[in-house]
Structure 1
């Protein structure tokens, strides 16, 4: 069994003061750093995704003549119209400054196609194109993923569901996630959906204990 830690979108725009700030998003950073330390101790690689949108991305409300936070359709798929966020090479797209990003072994960029959104770290929302993540994990002979990040009800959920569909065993580090929660119950429903699909729900303490590492 070979494992990897997958950090989802721990970027400035999803944290306090960001363009698409998730409530308590900053709280994930310390948990991520503790998880990174434990995984490093156990020789487990660390992988991260970054939302990486061109400025003309059509999921941005302003580019689709839509109101932010409303829903519609983009390229034949249901779409939430988002504020402009995580624009390539802009400060909002950078990893949170307190994240131990130097410990990341591989970074995958997603959402680069302006015509379609991409929540999952593995595929765009229509599964029309894949990121390099699955190929990299296969090359490293990874079979098990520990997943955490932002946001529970979008990018984390879709990444976990895709990982399970691809045959990975997935452990969700639940206290290392925070959600957008357009509806108050969205994050809890997302966790239940991931669990029903086969993800194991764990806390940081449980994961660290399983790695025989002392915080």
Structure 2
């Protein structure tokens, strides 16, 4: 992992079910999905609940402050509205320690890692309270790889930090062996981004490579890059 990793941007987790990942160039649908989020600031407990129905039947929403000053927010809810049981949003958002514990983060992470089939993950990374990006990805436990679709819109401010946070999440939390990044060929910042990928250790990957997703073979709209995590 790059030595410039920013440890103050740690993802937050929640579980959902989605099947509409066909336009990313990464997969062709029918994957269970996890939604995760991250922010670097002390912000209100706003989560990305409207994206889909839930994978699991438990409900939880919490924020805890890690020893390093990172803010975690864990959120998940049942597909049944009546079964929701969140930590109160009326609590002071300045008192992070008064909210739910880090055990909630670990529980949702366990939910992500328990599957033996590909799991789709929606990662919401906050640069500021008002700025964030959604990273659509798929964790494939069969080859222990994370497949990520690079967002179409990435705010210039903090873009490097959020990207490093994503890599750290993949390596330290998901403990994958590698990351495959798909980026659209018509991305307006593709030249600068490709240079950044190469600097961070990504390598251009053939659509026929064994690590490439099945949909890549016929995909002419995306570039693919491979980041190998050494054990």
TM bracket, shorter-chain basis:
0.3 to 0.5
- Which one has the bigger strand percentage? 2
Give the TM-score normalised by the residue count of structure 1. 0.37
- Which one has the bigger helix percentage? 1
Give the TM-score normalised by the residue count of structure 2. 0.35
